């Protein structure tokens, strides 16, 4: 689980959702969490992690579909260039903060 400081920070800037799930899903999830020693309050953290994971997976699938027809060498060159740019920006920022 996350640290108390992280949980407190998340609570302060969180929003409340009202969601509906089937009784079967509710029972399965609560049984799953209970079997791992998690408490009722851990439900929100579990849902947040599940949502983030699902969004990430769908974004990755969209990106893979979008790039399916792209030449692998061209794609790798674009990735390498993007990484170089980010590293150069980070290096410049770190160098500037040290002075």
Could you read off the pLDDT of 50-78 as tens digits, one per residue?
Answer: 999 999 999 999 999 999 999 999 999 99
**The predicted structure's pLDDT at residue 82:** 97
Band of the pLDDT at 80, cuts 50, 70, 90?
Answer: very high
Exposure letters 22-56 (e unless 16+ CB within 10 A, then b): eeeeeeeeeeebeeeeeeeebeebeeeeeeeeeee
Residue 18 burial by CB count (10 A; 0-12/13-18/19+): exposed, middle or buried?
Answer: exposed
Entry pTM: 0.62
Task: Evaluate whether 43 touches 29 at the Cβ level (below 8 Å).
Answer: yes
Tens-digit pLDDT profile for residues 4-31: 445 545 567 889 999 999 999 999 998 9
**The predicted structure's pLDDT at residue 50:** 95
């Amino acid at each position: 689980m996350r640290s108390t400081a992280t949980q407190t920070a998340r609570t302060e800037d969180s929003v409340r959702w009202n969601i509906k799930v089937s009784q079967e899903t509710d029972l399965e999830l609560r049984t799953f969490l209970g079997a791992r020693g998690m408490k009722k309050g851990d439900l929100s953290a579990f849902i947040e992690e599940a949502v983030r994971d699902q969004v990430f997976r769908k974004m990755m699938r969209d990106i893979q579909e979008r790039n399916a027809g792209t030449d692998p060498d061209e794609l790798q060159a674009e990735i390498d260039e993007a990484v170089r740019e980010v590293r150069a920006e980070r290096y410049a920022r770190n160098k500037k903060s040290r002075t």
